Amino acid sequence: MQPKGVDLRAIADLVKKGLLKTHIAKIYPFDEMVEAHIQIESRRTAGKIVVKV
C-alpha cells in the first residue's frame, strides 16, 4: 500500500475541519527518542506517540 497525495490531502482536510480527530498520547523531543521507543514498546499507550524533529 502506497500513500497517495490525493488521499492524504483529503485526510488533512478532514482534520482541519474538525471532522477527524487524532489522539496524541505524548510528544517527545528528538533527543528523547529512546524514551519514546520504550513507551511504544510498552504497548500501554492510548493514542499516538509523536517525536518532534
pLDDT for residue 14 is more than 90: yes
Report if residue 45 sits inside a domain.
yes
pLDDT at residue 41, as a whole number: 93
CA-CA distances (angstroms) from residue 20 to 10, 11, 13, 40? 11, 8, 9, 23
pLDDT for residue 9 is more than 80: yes
Report if residue 32 sits inside a domain.
yes
Report if residue 37 sits inside a domain.
yes
Report helix, strand and coil shares of the chain as percent, to nearest 5.
45, 20, 35
pTM of this prediction exceeds 0.85:
no
For 19-47, what is the mean pLDDT? 93
Identify the weakest region by mean pLDDT among 21-25, 26-30, 35-39.
21-25
pLDDT for residue 50 is more than 90: yes
Report if residue 12 sits inside a domain.
no
